[in-house]
Structure 1
Amino acid sequence: MRKTIITAFLTVASFVGTAHADTATYNIDPTHTYVTFEVTHFGTSTNRGRFDKKEGTVVLDMAAQSGKVDLAIDTRSINTGHAAFDQHLQTTDFFDSVKYPAARFTADKISFRGEKISEVKGELTLLGKTRPVLLKATNFNCYMNPIIKHEVCGGDFETTIQRTQWGMNWGLDYGVPDTVKLVIQVEAVKQ
């Protein structure tokens, strides 16, 4: 009986060890990760901008098809290619970057289609408010990077949000749209 209990314990311990062996942490590569936004300009053209400073981690268990994301975005690093516009976006009219220097996206619900991530359900914290956001994957892949000799996983993700959900109301009465498209290109290096 004692031998059976020990064998059962070792079998369970072995299974638990194997289950955790598929979980890997990936550090977001800031040189291959871009967080951009698009907003129409009075129905005529599209204004675009990006955040140049971001950091975070992705934890993936490909076998269990699960994972987590934690992405921090420095709102002071906004870059539209136009300094005056960048400064305005950092004011209390929009990102209030002095009071809220960081936005954060966290997620613990990653869905797969086959071996590819199809969507990431999480929460975006902006201007001190946290709201649910669903990112749809338009591309996903993992590969062995021949230069750094580490596995890299990443893809392109997008969603559309209503900025007023976070209290960003400036310009609505002038015709500045509430709808903002977010496009996130991310690559992360396995640790």
Structure 2
Amino acid sequence: MEAGVVEIPGYLAATWAIDPAHSYVGFVVRHLMIAKVRGHFTGVEGTITTAAEPLGSSVTAAIDLASVSTGNAQRDAHLRSADFLEVEKFPTMSYRSTAIRLDGHGHVMDGELTLKDVTRPVSLKLEVNGFGPDPFAAEPFRGGRAGFTATGEINRMDFGVSYNGPIPGGGMALGEKVDIVLEIEAARTGA
């Protein structure tokens, strides 16, 4: 094996549809300077193309911002409002990869995230979890599930998500950094 090449056991070049029922699109943000609040989006769709040469692979995804869930209905409604995501005006967040590259012993996916009509470059650390059979799929797609993990961070201010409030004693109610955690399972749709 060449130096710097990452082996991906069972790798399969194909086109895949993100399975929202078996995927997690999550985020973590600092709250009141002392804790972290976690949330996720249940509405996700997209296409992953694993190329014959893995570094030629690509991803496109769209997230339904109204599907945000933090486990608190009042907070979720506030996140959907004009203070944060403005889902009535901007219902979708999207991501489009621009390159996949080696980074040490792993991969990084470079891409463009669009939120509230603002597009910024966002790189995600990418982990290929594996490829396996789909026992529920019709032939010829029995070899048809793939799993990926991606993590990264954005500054919400870069996307115009700037609502905040001071807290007594100093500091702000919300951190600007948002950690992104993606656990994606996808089903094969074609060769």
TM-score by length of 2: 0.81
Is 1:182 the counterpart of 2:148? The answer is no
Identify which of 16, 26, 34 aligns with 1:36: 26
Alpha carbons 1:117, 1:140 under 8 Å: kept:
no
Is 1:141 the counterpart of 2:134? The answer is no
Alpha carbons 1:129, 1:166 under 8 Å: kept:
yes
CA radius of gyration, larger in: 1
Letter in structure 2 aligned against 1:163? R
Identify which of 100, 110, 127 aligns with 2:90: 100
Is 1:170 the counterpart of 2:157? The answer is no
Letter in structure 1 aligned against 2:134? N
Letter in structure 1 aligned against 2:130? N
Task: Report how far residue 138 of structure 1 moved.
Answer: 4.2
2:5 corresponds to which residue? none
Q: Which moved more, 1:82-91 or 1:129-138?
A: 129-138
Q: Which moved more, 1:55-64 or 1:100-109?
A: 55-64
Is 1:160 the counterpart of 2:153? The answer is yes
Q: Which runs of 4+ in 1 moved over 6 A?
A: none
Is 1:68 the counterpart of 2:58? The answer is yes
Task: Report how far residue 59 of structure 1 moved.
Answer: 0.9
Two-structure CA RMSD over aligned residues (Å) = 2.1
Residue 73 of structure 1 aligns to a residue in which SS? strand
1:137-180 Cα deviation digits (max 9, x unpaired): 24532222334324212211110110000111110645111010
Is 1:126 the counterpart of 2:92? The answer is no
Alignment partners' CA distance in 1, 2:57 and 2:38? 30
Alpha carbons 2:24, 2:40 under 8 Å: kept:
yes
Letter in structure 1 aligned against 2:101? S
1:19 corresponds to which residue? none
1:98-130 Cα deviation digits (max 9, x unpaired): 00000001113123579x971211000001100
Alignment partners' CA distance in 2, 1:81 and 1:185? 19
Alpha carbons 2:17, 2:187 under 8 Å: kept:
yes
Write 1 or 2 for the structure with the bigger share of helix.
1
Letter in structure 2 aligned against 1:54? V
Residue 185 of structure 1 aligns to a residue in which SS? strand
Alignment partners' CA distance in 2, 1:141 and 1:172? 43
Alignment partners' CA distance in 1, 2:58 and 2:143? 20
> Which stretches in structure 1 are left out of the alignment for 5+ residues?
1-21
Identify which of 75, 79, 96 aligns with 1:85: 75
Alpha carbons 1:109, 1:121 under 8 Å: kept:
yes
Larger RCO (alpha carbons 8 Å, 6+ apart):
2
Q: Percent identity?
A: 32
Letter in structure 2 aligned against 1:167? G
Alpha carbons 2:98, 2:112 under 8 Å: kept:
no
Letter in structure 1 aligned against 2:24? Y
